[in-house]
Structure 1
């Protein structure tokens, strides 16, 4: 089944904003952040070039329907000095060649953020597209963007949900983890948490 990728930036330049918002309002997701981003924030993010959103359409019953979307931005992956010390030596060795120290002694890696990836659950039972297929389409756009803006790592911040962790792990991402104190009784490592309290997964762009 053919899938069409359409830049949201191109759409808002061609059609009235209210018409675009009305069209996007049909998108539904079990993840309210994914849904709200498309309903409330994506157009503003386009206007200030904070992120670029791509809409994915498929044919269903003779008409083109929105089946998913993804948003990406060029944003360094920054790890605080304190958190850097909490990473295992092996993780530090993997990240060190790809990044640099900032003036604040934080560690930054030139990266691309996969800010949003969502399926339209209005068509979930019809199986017009899978999550893996949507991610594969995002990879193609990311590789094109990478040729222009650079970046060594693709990263995504996800909620602490087992199905999300499994999805990204199964698709070749590595979860960033930190060492626990030596006197801890809760195992040797724990997930690295972002400022938003989300889990962080990374993948080399060269591996896409």
Structure 2
């Protein structure tokens, strides 16, 4: 398939001008029909560079080629972020789920439960004209590339879980369910989003 990952940080450290980088990022277009897609597009267009400079997240562009021309086929962003679950919600989980989540977790001073892990903050494939014609990358392909990066981090620094948040949209929820994530149905996200988790050892 020939997909290639290029860290946004590398572009920012290269000789590329800010205008050239912005032009590249704005070549990514998401599916406006799908709920939540605008957030994926907005992040890459308007927040990714700032998050990179502030070390809040690392964004990786996925490139492919069509008729010998490279283009952005998708991207994903990862951040080192613990999952914090309020005590009253944690109590509703099954014993087996509590045990799997809390293998490396601990209670905070507020009696919440904090689980060390990583957040896939954004993940999306491009629906630009060239991407649609090329059909080089699926959402599953991009997730697999994200897993490659997370395995490297897991081997170096450990951690317990990988988690993602998404809108309550059947297509999105089916995607994560089909890729081995488990929805924490009793978790009330501060952003009113659905929460899916996966053990890092299983990626």
Tell me, yes or no, if the aligned pair for 1:74 and 1:149 is still in contact at 8 Å. Answer: no
Indicate the residue corresponding to 1:8 in structure 2.
8
- Deviation of 1:131 after TM superposition, in Å, equals 0.9
Q: Give 1:171 shift.
A: 0.4
Deviation at 1:93, TM superposition (A): 2.8
**Runs of at least 5 residues in structure 2 that lack an aligned partner in the other structure:** 32-36
Mean Cα displacement is larger for which, 92-101 or 28-37? 92-101
Question: Whose Rg is larger?
Answer: 1
The alpha carbon displacement at 1:73 in A equals: 0.6
- Name structure 1 gaps, 5 residues minimum: 179-191
C-alpha displacement of 1:87: 2.5
Q: Give the superposition deviation at 1:145.
A: 1.8
1:126 to partner: Cα distance: 3.3
Which residue is equivalent to 1:196?
191
Cα distance between partner residues in 2 of 1:121 and 1:17: 23
Distance 1:126 1:69 in 2: 16
- The question of whether the paired residues in 2 share the 8 Å contact of 1:101 and 1:108 is answered with yes
Mapped partners of 1:55, 1:155: distance in 2? 20
Root-mean-square deviation over aligned CA pairs:
1.2
Does residue 25 (structure 1) correspond to residue 26 (structure 2)? The answer is: yes
* 1:47 and 2:53 matched: yes
Alignment of 1:95-106 (within 5 A): 95-106=101-112
Distance 1:127 1:98 in 2: 40
8 A contact 1:87–1:177 mirrored in 2: no
Shift of residue 137 of structure 1? Answer: 0.6
Conserved 8 A contact 2:104-2:159: no
**Alignment counterpart, residue 146 of structure 1, candidates 142, 154, 159:** 154
Q: Are the counterparts in 2 of residues 7 and 53 from structure 1 also a CA contact under 8 Å?
A: yes
How far is 1:125 from its partner? 4.9
Q: Secondary structure at the match of 2:142?
A: helix
Would you say 1:38 and 2:39 are equivalent positions?
no
Q: Within 1, Cα distance between the matches of 2:7 and 2:175?
A: 25
Tell me the distance in 2 between the aligned counterparts of 1:172 and 1:125: 29
Q: Does structure 1 residue 110 correspond to structure 2 residue 116?
A: yes
Which residue in 1 is equivalent to 2:34? none
Task: Tell me, yes or no, if structure 1 residue 81 matches structure 2 residue 81.
Answer: no
Counterpart Cα distance in 1 of 2:17 and 2:154: 30
Q: How far apart, in 1, do the equivalents of 2:8 and 2:109 lie?
A: 36
Per-residue deviation, 1:172: 0.4
